[in-house]
Amino acid sequence: AATLADLVRLTRRNLRGAESWFGGRMADRLLQLARHYPELPEPARSRWDDGLLGLDIGDELLHLRLSLAAAQVPVSAPQRRYLEQLEKVLGQGPAGNRAEALAQPSEALLKTLYALPPSDAVKLAQGAVLQLQSSWRAWCHQQEQSHGLA
pLDDT computed for residue 147 by the predictor: 65
pLDDT computed for residue 12 by the predictor: 85
**Mean pLDDT in the chain?**
88
For residues 3-22, give the mean pLDDT: 86
By percentage, how much of the chain surpasses pLDDT 90?
51
> Domain tally for the chain?
1
pLDDT computed for residue 150 by the predictor: 43
pLDDT computed for residue 148 by the predictor: 56
For residues 97-113, give the mean pLDDT: 95
Q: Is the pLDDT of residue 129 over 80?
A: yes
- Greatest Cα-to-Cα distance within the chain, rounded to the nearest angstrom: 52
Residue 84 CA to residue 67 CA, distance in Å, equals 18
pLDDT computed for residue 76 by the predictor: 86
Which pLDDT band, with edges at 50, 70 and 90, does 53 fall under? confident
Q: Is the pLDDT of residue 44 over 50?
A: yes
For the entire predicted model, the pTM comes to 0.81
For residues 80-103, give the mean pLDDT: 94
Residue-number span of the structural domain to which 14 is assigned? 2-147
Which pLDDT band, with edges at 50, 70 and 90, does 120 fall under? very high
